[in-house]
Chain A
Amino acid sequence: MNKILVIGATSALAEATARLWAAEGHRLHLIGRDTGRLAAIAADLKVRGAEAVTVERSDLLDHAGHAAAIDRAIASLDGLDIALIAHGSLGDQKACEADVGLALRELDTNAISVVSLLTLLGDRCAARQHGTIAVIGSVAGDRGRKSNYVYGAAKGLVGLFAEGMQHRFADSPVRLVLIKPGPTDTPMTAHLKTAGARLADPAKVAAAIHRAIGRGTPVAYVPGIWRPIMWLIRNLPRPLFNRLDI
């Protein structure tokens, strides 16, 4: 039985991954913003087999509350084996270009708050010499593109920060797993779906996340097809890249 903290537990990928953990009988602590949904998710995870599920409502943009929330989670779980940081928002790129305040808020949601949580969790795990920290990045963080570079920049920052922590923990039992999902069929991407984009099934993406965290994979593209695709995108010469409408 593992003791698992899920931050941003109402996100579709976090919830789908938590269902897999629940089925294995682990103990879960959920942090999210929407109490109604947290209660339904907690009840669901219990029915699916979780040993125990506790929840805490928290606004993750309130960085000052992070340390206490993490310590309450560790107390509630009576330890910590796995932490998954999954909150985020896919902001409107065009709106961000016109409103710097909005762009900074997006960076805060998707990057700064994550840096705060990673730092605190890294500290707790380093002290115990134990734990796997997983964070949801994105393929969007691999190269800035005109369609979503505010989101991409935030996810890129998370990726680089995670890479640095992996380096720091290279000689310790602490693991850091960076998950890079491609576009997935979640509420966050509902507008892409109506535009006809092909989106991955969240249950399948969750299965890949679950596997990557179990193995401690440093960088997991989910589904795996995004690894070669993003290699290509990253290495595309600029004159060619500039012609792409992506």
Chain B
Amino acid sequence: MEIHGWGRYPRLDASLAFPLSAGQCAPLLGEPLIARGLGRGYGDCALAPRVLDTRRLDHLLDFDPVSGVLTCAGGATLADIVQVFVPRGWFLPVTPGTRFVTVGGAVASDVHGKNHHVEGSFCEHVIGLDLLLGNGERVQASASERPDLFRATCGGMGLTGVILAARLRLKPIRSAAVVETTIKTPDLDATLAAFAEQAGSTYSVAWIDCLARGRQLGRSVLMLGEHADDGPLALSGGHPVAIPVDAPAGLLNRVTMAAFNALYYARARTGTRRVGLESFFYPLDALADWNRLYGRAGFLQYQFVVPEAAGLRVILERIAASGRGSFLAVLKAFGKGNDNLLSFPHAGYTLALDFKAEPAAFELLDSLDRLVLDHGGRLYLAKDARMSAATFRAGYPRWQEFEAVRERHHAVGRFASALSRRLELQ
């Protein structure tokens, strides 16, 4: 059947296997395959002619209510974890902007959230993994046991093996509410100053108007958050509104995007208020299938990190001048990176934005790639559908170590995705 990532570009014809137990996975090994969870990777990271779909391997296996350590299968979803554990006073230590991802996917992408500057990325809270290697062996990997394999698997895009189970440390909370503070900043300097001033906030992220130019370049709505100190722990629930059909091709264009951005900026309410945890962390989850807004052709999500503000400014200027911005561009100041071989985050600024998949967008992004590399940055593999192998190698200098670990642990020739082929990994 035809499958695609969340960006709906590219598409690929694949045969999917749905193992019902960990024991059913090993017999599937043979021709190269890639594990796939909920398909929320934007580009081609979970596309391959042979796919091991982990959605039936979604069991929560053990929980220690004293330490908060959860053991779960690789296909367990963050949505399930939120639903089961928030009412008991536990939350994910790190969460991306959607809860519709699997734990295996979160590990493979070493996802980050609004607290990266304080609490690091997802895998920094993972104590250990159970992996199915390419030779059919089931092994454990952690910082102390097969540390090379662990460091390669965290952020390794599923290319080292199948993540059968993970042990992660949940975070205690006293309320399902978040105290959210909203600050409006008129330009980039003010935005970056606000991030620096608010470095003590547990959660921080900015929506940035990437179509604003000149003096307004970089104007943003900064959102800060802290878990509230008092209850209740009940989730608000509610069903997402669905986008039932693909939007017509012309819906999201320069005019509607600029209007949306100007309106969003103008209407943002500054100040402090209590909001539900779901609306603070997962605003887009309320809109099921929002990826259909870009129409049948799909879209490209572009997320880079650069160490210095100067680089960010140059790239923003290029995007604003192109007039091809998106209506949801997200800026965040990262904390320091970790020791995983292919993890994306490192100290500096990260910007994520989407572009309709059309030839002009590919040209623009090629030119942005050069700017990102020139400024010492790199692109996020979980979002990517198009960077070249050369761009990958320049941005991820430890790629050869990664390949050596894969070689050593029998992954070569067993695990491959459209992404790994494009990046010319073995």
Chain A contact residues, CB within 8 Å of chain B: 10, 12, 23, 34, 36-37, 40-41, 43-44, 47-49, 187, 190, 193-194, 196
Contacts and interface: CB of A to CB of B under 8 A. Distances in A.
Interface in B1-48: 1, 16, 18, 20-23
A10 B20 contact: yes
A114 B303 CA distance: 55
Contacts of A36: 21-23
A36 B20 CA distance: 10
B21 A187 contact: no
B130 to A, nearest CB: 12
B1 A43 contact: no
B308 interface: no
Contact of A187 (B56, B61, B70): B56
A47 B21 contact: no
A43 to B, nearest CB: 5
A36 B73 CA distance: 13
A43 B61 contact: yes
A193 B63 CA distance: 34
Given A23-B84, A193-B1, A44 B59 contact: yes
B84 A187 contact: no
Nearest to A41: B59
A196 B59 CA distance: 27
16 contacts: A23-B84, A36-B23, A37-B21, A40-B22, A43-B60, A43-B61, A43-B62, A47-B62, A47-B63, A47-B70, A49-B84, A187-B18, A187-B56, A190-B18, A193-B1, A194-B16
Contacts of B70: 47
Pick the most buried of B1, B23, B59, B61: most chain A CB atoms within 10 A of its CB.
B59
Interface in B56-95: 56, 59-63, 70, 73, 84
A183 B159 CA distance: 35
Given A36-B21, A187-B56, A194-B1, 20 more contacts: A23-B84, A36-B23, A37-B20, A40-B21, A40-B22, A40-B61, A40-B73, A41-B59, A44-B59, A44-B61, A47-B61, A47-B62, A47-B63, A47-B70, A48-B60, A49-B84, A187-B18, A187-B20, A194-B16, A196-B1
Nearest to B55: A185
Main secondary structure of the interface of B (DSSP, over half): mixed
A43 B165 CA distance: 13
Interface string B179-203: 0000000000000000000000000
Interface in B204-237: none
Contacts of B61: 40, 43-44, 47
Contacts of B59: 40-41, 43-44
A44 B60 contact: yes
A194 B70 CA distance: 34
A-B residue pairs, 10 tightest by C-beta: A44-B59, A47-B60, A40-B59, A36-B21, A37-B21, A43-B61, A47-B63, A194-B1, A44-B60, A36-B23
A49 B88 CA distance: 10
B158 to A, nearest CB: 21
Interface in B155-178: none
A43 B18 CA distance: 20
A37 B84 CA distance: 21
A196 B62 CA distance: 37
Contacts of B16: 194
A12 B20 CA distance: 10
B421 to A, nearest CB: 23
B363 to A, nearest CB: 35
Contacts of B22: 36, 40
A194 B62 CA distance: 34
A165 B22 CA distance: 40
Interface string B99-136: 00000000000000000000000000000000000000
Contacts of A196: 1
Contacts of A194: 1, 16
Nearest to A193: B1
A27 B56 CA distance: 23
Nearest to B60: A47
Contacts of A41: 59
A51 to B, nearest CB: 15
A4 B60 CA distance: 20
Nearest to B73: A40
A199 to B, nearest CB: 13
